Amino acid sequence: MSLPATADSPTPAAAARRIVIGDIHGHYDGLMLLIDSLQLTPQDQLYFLGDLIDRGPKSAQVMEYVRNKGYACVRGNHEQMMLEAFPNGQIFSPALHAWMYSGGRATMSSYEDPDMMLEHLKWIETLPNYLDLGDVWLVHAGVHPDMTIESQDQQQFCWIRDEFHRMGRPYFEDKLIITGHTITFTFPGVFPGAIVRGQGWLDIDTGAYHPRSGWLTALDLTHQMVHQAHMYESLTRTLPLEEVLIDMPETQAKRRQALML
């Protein structure tokens, strides 16, 4: 599956854009820096890949921003952990410790109003596991290559890594899968801030919370441009997708084979 076709207009602001934003992890100020750099118009469509929360200092503010704006967002594993930590509104559960250990403590500290947290838990319950945009399919972590979509649940959509990344061929023939969840510099030979391409998928989690990277990424699908904001240095940059796109080794080999045919 190739990348979606670019718009004919040479000016990104001249046409409505489909923009996908990767894992934010509670960095509200950095998100606002990125949003300002996008110079959004009322026609633009924003999509979020989940993991709005945990680790960063302002998870409540990030979630409230996305919720109030009515932006489309898929459920990430960190939203799933938060939901499981408070089943049916209970204060304590066996899953609470696991969430605290995984960054939930910072999220809890970001709430000044417990009623807002309850509202956010209700909102998380409404988040879909994936969004089908026709030529693009958004999901937090990926899909299991040997299972149908109907037979999968949060365990795959929110958590999967290796089985998805090692797929030998695209899961869809006519859709590009875009994910977050796995920080791209954890793939071999990938530099911080890069986007990774596999067999029919792109990973745009560039490690916003991680001090080795700090880049939060927004991918403009319409013009194949990458907008990034740095969470710790208050920097922004805009680059053509091809300048920061790195193929998985298996994808590199298949692309070389295709060129030789």
Q: What is the pLDDT of residues 46-60, one digit of tens each?
A: 999 999 999 999 999
Is residue 46 domain-resident? yes
Task: Give the integer Cα–Cα distance in Å for 188 and 229.
Answer: 23
Non-local CB neighbours of 18 within 8 Å, separated by 6+ positions: 44, 45, 47, 133, 136, 220, 221, 222
Share of the chain above pLDDT 70, in %: 89
Is residue 80 domain-resident? yes
**Among candidate residues 88, 90, 74, the one with its CA nearest the CA of residue 124:** 74
CB 231 within 8 A of CB 209: yes
* Regions of the chain short of the pLDDT cut 70: 1-2, 5-14, 89-91, 250-261
Is residue 206 domain-resident? yes
The pLDDT value recorded for residue 89 is 62
- Extract the tokens encoding 162: 């290796």
The domain containing residue 187 runs over which residues?
Answer: 14-260
Is residue 195 domain-resident? yes
CB 26 within 8 A of CB 110: yes
Number of other CB atoms surrounding residue 132 within 10 Å: 13
Task: Give the integer Cα–Cα distance in Å for 121 and 84.
Answer: 10
Number of domains the chain contains: 1
Is residue 3 domain-resident? no
The pLDDT value recorded for residue 253 is 40
Q: What is the CATH number of the domain that holds 35?
A: 3.60.21.10
Is residue 9 domain-resident? no
Is residue 5 domain-resident? no
Is residue 255 domain-resident? yes
CB 117 within 8 A of CB 111: yes
The pLDDT value recorded for residue 87 is 85
User: What is residue 102's three-state secondary structure?
Assistant: helix
Q: What is the pLDDT of residues 237-258, one digit of tens each?
A: 999 999 999 998 766 545 434 4
**Partners of 73 in the β-ladder:** 48
DSSP alpha helices (H): ranges in 39-153?
A: 59-69, 77-85, 95-99, 105-109, 114-126
The DSSP-derived string for 141-204 is: S---TTS-GGG--HHHHTT--HHHHT-SS-S-SS-EEEE-SS-GGGSTT--TT-EEEETTEEE-
